[in-house]
């Protein structure tokens, strides 16, 4: 029995030594290899590329001129490449890794725009799903919810929506609902407590108030659509408001 256990133990030790040797051999072989080129793995957002592979290649080649054929792979600055790519406003994540054939692979995910701040006298900007404000792309335009108004412009100037954290839940609610996403075309944000909805169907601008208690407000708008406007007509009222709790004001 003891001999059997001894043989089994020696077998495990031998196996471990073989594995360690193999891993060391593979690592040494990788170190001996040289840089052969750059491969871009770019994930699209709804089928759209706000940053293109050619642009990424230009960024890397400009920032790291030492990346030429023959450079030992151990000298490839993977972390620095990732950091440089993350400096691009449309790149959300960047991961650089070395393949077995000497190819450096850059795996990139883009930010996803969820709304657009439109300014008549300045450059527009996108709000991403993560609540960041980034510039628009010179190459592609994303068809998203439009935000206008003095306070929306203020948020754009500040470069963040931190001053109005309640805005993101409202935007997510509208854009994730199939009906409201098609019906609500624009949020006019004049003040934090003065939001107005512009509709796809219906000439009225709906006074929404602040971004709080939005689910209750949309339920009241739904009552308006289903019970009031079909009887009175879609253009029967000049003013519609749901900004007061448990009320629909039609005038």
- 94 and 142 co-located in one domain: no
Q: Quick one: which H or E segment has residue 56?
A: helix 53-63
Residue 239 contacts residue 250 (beta carbons within 8 Å) = yes
pLDDT over 90, % of the chain: 60
Q: Is residue 28 part of a domain?
A: no
Per the structure, the complete domain to which residue 58 belongs is given by: 37-110
Same domain, 148 and 223: yes
Residue 223 shares a structural domain with residue 134: yes
Q: Please check whether residue 192 is in contact with residue 185, taking contact to mean a CB–CB distance below 8 angstroms.
A: no
User: Residue 103 falls within a domain, yes or no?
Assistant: yes
Name the pTM for this structure: 0.77
d(CA 210, CA 6): 76
Cβ neighbors of 75 (< 8 A, separation 6 or more) are 66
pLDDT at position 9 over 80:
no
Q: What is the CATH number of the domain that holds 228?
A: 3.40.50
Of the three residues 91, 110, 129, the one that is the final residue of a domain is 110
CA distance 112 to 132: 10
Q: Which pLDDT score, from 0 to 100, does residue 159 have?
A: 87
Out of 82, 110, 138, a domain closes at: 110
* pLDDT tier for residue 14 given thresholds of 50, 70 and 90: low
Quote the CA–CA distance of 200 and 117 in Å, as a whole number: 18
CATH code for the domain in which residue 70 is found: 3.10.20.310
Same domain, 142 and 240: yes
Residue 61 has pLDDT above 70, yes or no: yes
Least reliable range by pLDDT among 19-23, 151-155, 162-166: 19-23
122 and 240 fall within a common domain: yes
Q: Provide DSSP, 113-171.
A: EEEEE--TTS--EEEETTSBEEEPPSS-----EEEESHHHHHHHHHTB-TT-TTHHHHH
Write out the H or E segment, with its range, that includes residue 83: helix 78-86
Report the chain's mean pLDDT, rounded to a whole number: 86
């Amino acid at each position: 029995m003891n001999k059997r256990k001894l043989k089994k133990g020696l077998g495990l030790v031998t196996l471990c030594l073989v594995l360690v040797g193999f891993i060391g051999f593979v690592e040494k072989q990788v170190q001996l290899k040289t840089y052969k080129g750059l491969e871009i793995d770019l994930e699209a957002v709804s089928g759209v590329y706000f940053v293109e592979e050619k642009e990424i290649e230009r960024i890397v080649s400009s920032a790291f001129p030492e990346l030429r054929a023959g450079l030992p792979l151990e000298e490839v600055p993977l972390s620095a490449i990732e950091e440089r790519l993350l400096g691009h406003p449309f790149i959300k994540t960047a991961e650089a890794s070395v393949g077995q054939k000497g190819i450096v692979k850059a795996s990139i995910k883009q930010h996803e725009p969820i709304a657009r701040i439109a300014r008549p006298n300045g450059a527009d900007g996108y709000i991403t799903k993560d609540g960041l404000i980034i510039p628009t792309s010179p190459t592609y335009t994303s068809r998203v919810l439009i935000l206008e108004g003095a306070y929306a412009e203020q948020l754009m100037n500040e470069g963040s929506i931190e001053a109005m954290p309640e805005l993101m839940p409202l935007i997510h609610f509208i854009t994730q609902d199939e009906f409201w996403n098609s019906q609500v075309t624009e949020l006019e944000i004049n003040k934090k407590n003065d939001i107005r909805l512009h509709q796809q169907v219906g000439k009225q601008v709906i006074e929404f108030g602040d971004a709080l208690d939005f689910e209750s407000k949309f339920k009241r708008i739904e009552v308006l659509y289903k019970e009031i406007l079909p009887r009175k007509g879609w253009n029967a009222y000049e003013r519609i408001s749901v900004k007061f709790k448990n009320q629909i004001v039609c005038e």
